[in-house]
Amino acid sequence: MTSAMRGRRFMVAGGTGSWGRTRVGNVHHATFTRRPGRRPDADADDGRGSFRVLATCGVFEPGFRGGGPVRSVANIVDTAPQHIDITLVTGDHDLGCRAPYPGLSGRWVNRNRARVFYLGTGRLTQWWRLWRDLRDTRFDLLYVNSLWSPVFTVIPVLAARLGLIRVGSVLLAPRGELSPGALSLKSRKKRLFLTWWGRLLKDMDVVWHASSDKEDAQIRAVCRWASVAVNQDQVALSREPLPTPSAHAGPPRLVFIGRVSPMKNVDLVLHALRDVSGAVEFDIYGPLEDAAYWSCCRVLIARLPAAVKVRYRGELAPGDVCRTFSAYDAFVLPTKGENFGHAIAESLSASCPVVCSDQTPWTAVLESGGGSVVRELTAQALAEDLRRILAMTPDQRVHAKLRASDAYRAWRDRVTGGNILDQVQGVLRPGRR
């Protein structure tokens, strides 16, 4: 892509775009159309040469505490067509952990056709080895999965700019970092950083990867010059939801599964629970990302009425998430912003309704039966939705779970996939190889 293309629309053939809909703004916008009867790896036979991608992300499997972005990148790596060669550089430890993964630090590991390097960022010898291994390869694309990461975005982008690594184009996935809620956290620092970082990205003709039309608009609200390819995050979930459990006696069971952080707004649930009457259980699962924030949450928990039972249940392995959701009557997520929302998909796949803010791409799915949408992020508005759940009979709660499973099935049937790397290749290849 060249600077002359800025401000024009581009089309990309491939999988499904943002929720199966197309919207064209004033900038480059990817529209995706699946070719009928074409298997995912068919392009390996269509005469195209190898497309080399250098990808970076701060956390990758076996890590999981980074949440949805970890799963997104893993799905992109695992579903890439045969003609795409991926080299992935990631950290050697999970989010919030100091200890590296056993036996992985400073090592190259094969994952299907991809190669993954687990970098110990504090070890100069590993940096030297990594650069030595990468410097002779001409990559068609650098794919970075954060806007702010000093190590896994700023350094590789600057290295490409200075010619320390040979890269044709740059694809940047901000992973929700430009949502209003995310920008409101440490906002002054972020906006100061963007004054020079944004100019550099514009000068390099970076293409942005958005996971929804909502994220596309958020990117362009901050960077009006942005070239945006919209492609929904891929999920590795069954097309059929888990069976709906039978009705249970006793109080409603609410759950939160995710990173316990200001962005997820768990404290708002605790404030809302102070305004409900009647018995209810609320279980919290996930890494305690912010110790000060969790301390504030514990103060709120201690002030709740006796009939409201709140328990922190620790962290969940990825394979246990859907099964855990299935045991609850609703997933409560008053998030300040999600570029996709893997946990929402997992909850619906487990026939668990979702009570969520309108700061995700899931509003239409939830309003069609998957749960409910809280448009005003206040304790009073959220408490109103929680009171509705508390007023349900056991049979009504089962009916709500059945509606959630129907909403998931309808959404899953509309999703045809399509790997973002395959989709941007057709746009980037002509002028940059």
Q: What is the pLDDT of residues 156-214, one digit of tens each?
A: 999 999 999 999 999 999 998 998 888 888 888 998 998 899 999 999 989 999 988 88
Cα angle vertex 178, ends 84, 206, to 5°? 40
State the pLDDT at residue 11: 35
Contact 294, 41 (CB under 8 A): no
Distance CA 82, CA 94 (A): 29
Name the stretches of the chain with pLDDT < 70: 1-49, 416-417, 428-433
Contact 288, 243 (CB under 8 A): no
Q: At what angle do helices 68-79 and 342-349 cross, to 10 degrees?
A: 80
Q: Which residue has the tokens 């993954």?
A: 116
Q: Residues with Cβ < 8 Å from 322, sequence gap 6 or more?
A: 237, 242, 346, 349, 350
State the pLDDT at residue 126: 97
Residue type at position 56: T
- Displacement of CA 219 from its chain's centroid (Å): 15
Per the structure block, which two tokens stand in for 168? 């044709």
Distance CA 411, CA 243 (A): 17
Q: Residues with Cβ < 8 Å from 427, sequence gap 6 or more?
A: 1, 10, 12, 30, 207, 229
Q: Could you tell me how many residues make up the chain?
A: 433
Residue 165's SS3 state is: coil
Tell how many helices (H) and how many strands (E) occur in the chain. 14, 14
Distance CA 306, CA 286 (A): 24
Per the structure block, which two tokens stand in for 396? 């009504």
State the pLDDT at residue 120: 96
Distance CA 131, CA 143 (A): 17
Which domains are seen in the chain, by residue range? 3-231+416-432 (3.40.50.2000), 253-414 (3.40.50.2000)
Contact 225, 6 (CB under 8 A): yes
Distance CA 414, CA 147 (A): 30
Q: Whole-prediction pTM value?
A: 0.80
